[in-house]
Amino acid sequence: MNRVAKAVGACVMTLSSVPVFAQAPVASDVTMTQDPSRKVTVTYSLDRPAVVTLDIETNVTGSAEWVSIGGENIRGLVGDVNKLVRTSGSHTILWQPDQSWPNHRVPENGARAVVTAWAPDAPPDWMLIDLSSPSNVAYYASVGQLPYGHPTNNFL
């Protein structure tokens, strides 16, 4: 059973049903802002060390349903994301959507950041390792969140 907590935007937080003794780390106080250069800043707080992943969701259809824009559109993240964040407190993620999600316009309040905190001993199912530097490990919540799409090898 994955022990995972999600915080969405600055308004919603849910916890999976896990025993009290095995509560997941909590990501809270999530904000997402965009400056005039279109750089997006996501901030969040952790209550303890955690593996942190990020998804960007949109509801541009105007419906109540929020949908992921997909990992291939969220490349180039910088900061405390897709890795083990070893400290509690405030953290920042930077994203330049023009570089990975060009020509998309989202109406105001039409996008939100979903920050997920995973227990270090129960990380997400997907991990990428940079073989030129094995200390560069990145975690992803699903195959859809992988930055370059679905793996093309026969090991799956």
| pLDDT per position as a tens digit, 17-60 | 444 445 789 999 999 998 888 889 999 999 999 999 999 998 86
Does residue 151 lie within any of the structural domains? no
This prediction has a pTM of 0.77
Q: By three-state DSSP, how is residue 94 classified?
A: strand
Q: Is 155 part of any domain?
A: no
Report yes or no on 153 lying in a domain.
no
User: Domain containing 18: what range?
Assistant: 4-145
Q: Please check whether residue 120 lies inside any domain of the structure.
A: yes
User: Do residues 128 and 137 touch, judged by C-beta distance below 8 A?
Assistant: yes
Percent of the chain with pLDDT over 70: 74
**What residue type is assigned to position 43 of the chain?**
T
Q: Residue 91: which CATH number?
A: 2.60.40
Has residue 152 been placed in a domain? no
Q: Report yes or no on 86 lying in a domain.
A: yes
Structural domains in the chain (count): 1
Higher pLDDT, 10 or 63: 63
- 99's tokens: 């570089």
| Digit-coded pLDDT (tens) for 109-136 | 788 999 999 999 999 988 888 788 767 8
Judge whether 150 lies within some domain. no
